[in-house]
Amino acid sequence: MTTTIVHLVRHGEVYNPENILYGRMPGYHLSSRGRSQAARTAKSFAGHDVAALFASPLLRTQETAEPIAEVTGLTPQLREEVIEAGNRFEGLRTKGWRSQLWNPVRWPLMVNPTQPSWGEPYQDILTRMNVAIDAARDAARGHEAIIVSHQLPIVMVQRAAVGKSLTHNPATRRCDLASVTSLVFADDELIDTVYSTPAKDI
């Protein structure tokens, strides 16, 4: 039996003074706090046997991967499969009393929150994440791999790993900034998941 661990790392805090839903929009980089979070999480991998490093092609994930690359000595491979979820509300304020979702013109997009109707279907997100996880496991078989991704894609993997429905309340997500969700495989079988927050005090 060969044990392989694939770590899913969420990016650090993003500089977003306008507080909009940036999704896949280009140009959103880490804040100074986000860079500190990324550095702390990277440091937690010191001494680990990491043989592969994947990252989403978005700027914030590449910046989170930079200190991990320094610690591991690996060059990040950009993978489209681990990109942020598609969302038709990109560019809008979606929280608080100034939320632009109060506009009735957008209500038709909210008819089916179980899919969700406003964005990329949950099952599609999980399917593409699993492609990248399988590739990372194969690339690092018998060692460890790191994938730097985004909250919702990681949450889809978390929920599927424990047999939960992909439909969920976003307020219940357990995927903090710069957190690590570790998938432990015996050969190709997932046998355990471990969640950690190396940067929780930043």
CA terminus-to-terminus distance, the chain: 38
Rounded distance between C-alpha atoms, residue 32 and residue 72, angstroms: 22
pLDDT digits (tens, 9 = 90+) for 88-139: 767 666 666 556 555 566 556 567 777 887 789 999 999 999 999 999 999 9
pLDDT at 96: 60
pLDDT digits (tens, 9 = 90+) for 10-67: 999 999 998 888 999 999 999 999 999 999 999 999 999 999 999 999 999 999 999 9
**Residue 196 forms beta bridges with which residues?**
180
pLDDT at 94: 63
Query: What six digits make up the tokens of 136?
Result: 């990372």
Decide if 15 contacts 31 (C-beta within 8 A): yes
Mean pLDDT of 174-197: 98
Specify the long-range contacts of residues 98-104, CB closer than 8 Å, at least 24 apart.
none
Q: Which residue has the higher pLDDT, 168 or 101?
A: 168
Rounded distance between C-alpha atoms, residue 28 and residue 181, angstroms: 23
pLDDT at 114: 78
Domains and CATH numbers, the chain: 3-14+29-86+120-196 (3.40.50.1240)
Q: Is the pLDDT of residue 189 over 90?
A: yes
Reported as half-sphere exposure (CB side, CA atoms, 13 A), residue 51 has a value of 14
Give the rounded distance of the alpha carbon of 104 from its chain centre: 31
Q: Is the pLDDT of residue 168 over 80?
A: yes
Taking each helix axis from N to C terminus, what angle separates 59-72 and 32-43, rounded to the nearest 10 degrees?
30
Burial class of residue 173 in the structure, from the number of CB atoms within 10 Å of its CB (0-12 exposed, 13-18 middle, 19+ buried): middle
pLDDT at 97: 53
pLDDT at 115: 80
Query: What six digits make up the tokens of 179?
Result: 């957190």
